[in-house]
Amino acid sequence: MDNRPIGVFDSGLGGLTAVRRLHEAMPSENIIYFGDTGRVPYGTRSPETIIRYARQDVSFLRTFELKAIVIACGTVSSVALDTLAAESDIPVIGVVWPACAQALRETRNHRVGVIGTSSTIRSGAYERMLLTARPELRVFTRACPLFVPMVENGRVQRGDVVIETLVREYLSELKGEGIDTLILGCTHYPLLRGVIASYMGDSVRLVDSGAAAADAARAMLIPAGRGRGRTRYFVSDDPASFRQLAGLFLNEQITHPAELIEISAYGA
Ligand code: DGL
């Protein structure tokens, strides 16, 4: 039994989709969540900036005695996982490999789509991982930069003409390629699952990268003891908005207010 908390971070709210799965699958775990709400989005930034921000995020989380860190952000996982893992003496779990492994298990026709932020798609991380594991796979990728602001503004419902138009615009080519599996390579995108599933149709399976990372954490970590674990939330800006929107991602309201920190005071 290991009661040390799991540290989880994202550029903002998206990582809460991983926390949601951790709550469901590992209810006894204590979690420290950091959302860099003052500097979101990361997905449009350069690799150097993403690595600098991610080092500070890890440095803040390491002020707690953690058993592992989950990078619940597709962008940081794609660009900075190797760097962060090499600098860490505790396990660092990203979303890319767990999501790819699930897609490889699920695809039947070996045609897989990947969507993510511009930095994620530009990094080629998902594509490389998939093709290394199974070279005969056909992989089709698409950056969807306007999805994150839509999600952060709560525009996620079927019937919302703006999000439905964007989904059609971004996904029509992937749909035309006949993929049977689509990796939601950004942790914000599971909030769009309903709109995306209805556009892509029943024959396409959707892989939630945050949930896949949470499942990987469950498989690899020594669990906490019995009883309900506690989650503490930290943000770098506007705790009130975070609390308001967090319910959408977690499917439950957070009981304690998020705590505000000055992230630039940490690390590199
Ligand atoms: N949650 C981030 C990701 O998974 C997207 C938001 C951002 O661009 O920072 O890539």
Q: State pLDDT tens for residues 12-32.
A: 999 999 999 999 999 999 999
- pLDDT at 252 exceeding the cut of 70: yes
- pLDDT exceeds 90 at position 198: yes
- Indicate whether residue 71 lines ligand 1 (CB < 6 A): no
Task: Decide if 45 is inside a domain.
Answer: yes
Q: What is the pTM of this model?
A: 0.96
26 CA to middle of ligand 1, Å? 24
Residue with tokens 């989950």: 70
Boundary-marking domain end, from 209, 228, 255: 209
At which of 209, 232, 250 does a domain end?
A: 209
- Please, which pLDDT band fits residue 267 given cuts at 50, 70 and 90? confident
Whether residue 117 has its Cβ less than 6 Å from ligand 1? yes
Are residues 53 and 81 both part of a single domain? yes
For residue 36, the ligand 1 atom closest to its alpha carbon is: 9
Number of domains in the chain: 2
> How confident is the model over 65-99, as pLDDT tens digits?
999 999 999 999 999 999 999 999 999 999 999 99
Pocket lining: 42 vs ligand 1, CB cutoff 6 Å: yes
Judge if 36 and 87 occupy the same domain: yes
Judge whether 144 counts as a catalytic residue.
Answer: no
Residues 87 and 172 in one domain: no
Same domain for 249 and 148: no
Domain assignment present for residue 1? The answer is no
Bond prior to 41 in cis (omega within 30° of 0): yes
Cα dihedral 253, 255, 260, 265 sign: negative
Whether 186 sits among the annotated catalytic residues: the reply is yes
Lowest mean pLDDT among 1-5, 110-114, 225-229: 225-229
pLDDT bucket at 118, cuts 50 / 70 / 90:
very high
Which ligand 1 atom is at minimum distance from the Cα of 120? 10
Range of the domain at 35: 6-94+212-265
What separation, in Å, do the N-terminal and C-terminal C-alpha atoms of the chain show?
33
Q: Are residues 145 and 232 in the same domain?
A: no
Distance CA 121, CA 114 (A): 8
How far is the C-alpha of 230 from the C-alpha of 76, rounded, in Å?
25
Q: Which atom of ligand 1 is nearest to the CA of 40?
A: 9
Query: In this structure, are residues 161 and 100 in contact, taking their beta carbons and an 8 Å threshold?
Result: no
- pLDDT number for residue 156: 92
Alpha carbons 209 and 267: distance in angstroms, whole number:
27
**What percentage of the chain exceeds 70 in pLDDT?**
100
Among protein residues, the one with the nearest Cα to ligand 1's atom 6 is 41
Same domain for 112 and 180?
yes
Residue 116 CA, closest ligand 1 atom number: 10
Token pair listed for 77: 């996982």
Both 155 and 198 in a single domain? yes
In a domain, 15, yes or no: yes
* Backbone Cα Rg of the chain: 17
Q: Give Cα 131 distance to the centre of its chain.
A: 21
On whether both 231 and 177 belong to a single domain, the answer is no
Q: In this structure, are 164 and 230 located in the same domain?
A: no
The whole-number average pLDDT for the span 110-130 is: 97
Query: Token pair for residue 223?
Result: 């669990």
Residue 138 sits in the same domain as residue 242: no
Give the domain CATH number at 108: 3.40.50.1860
pLDDT of residue 251: 85
Domain limit, last residue, from 209, 235, 253: 209
Same domain, 107 and 120: yes
Determine if ligand 1 sits within 6 Å of the CB of residue 186. yes
Asked if residue 60 and residue 147 are part of one domain, the reply reads no
- Give the mean pLDDT of 7-12: 96
Residue 268 has pLDDT above 80, yes or no: no
In terms of phi and psi (left: phi > 0; alpha: psi -120 to 50; beta: otherwise), the region of 5 is beta
Which of 6, 22, 71, 73 is an active site residue? 73
pLDDT of 153 > 90? The answer is: no
For residue 135, cis peptide bond before it (omega within 30 degrees of 0)? no
pLDDT, mean of residues 204-230: 94
Q: How far apart are CA 264 and CA 268, in angstroms?
A: 9
Tell me which of 186, 209, 236 to substitute to probe ligand 1's pocket, judged by most ligand atoms within 8 Å of the beta carbon: 186
236 in a domain, yes or no? yes
74-86 vs 96-106: helix axis angle to the nearest 10?
120
Place of tokens 């962008």: 75
Query: Does the residue 253 lie in any domain?
Result: yes
Residue 37 lies in a domain: yes
Residue 1 Cα to ligand 1 midpoint, Å, equals: 32
In the prediction, which pLDDT does 137 show? Answer: 98
Choose among 237, 240, 234, 190: nearest CA to 211: 190
Q: Assess if residue 128 is contained within a domain.
A: yes
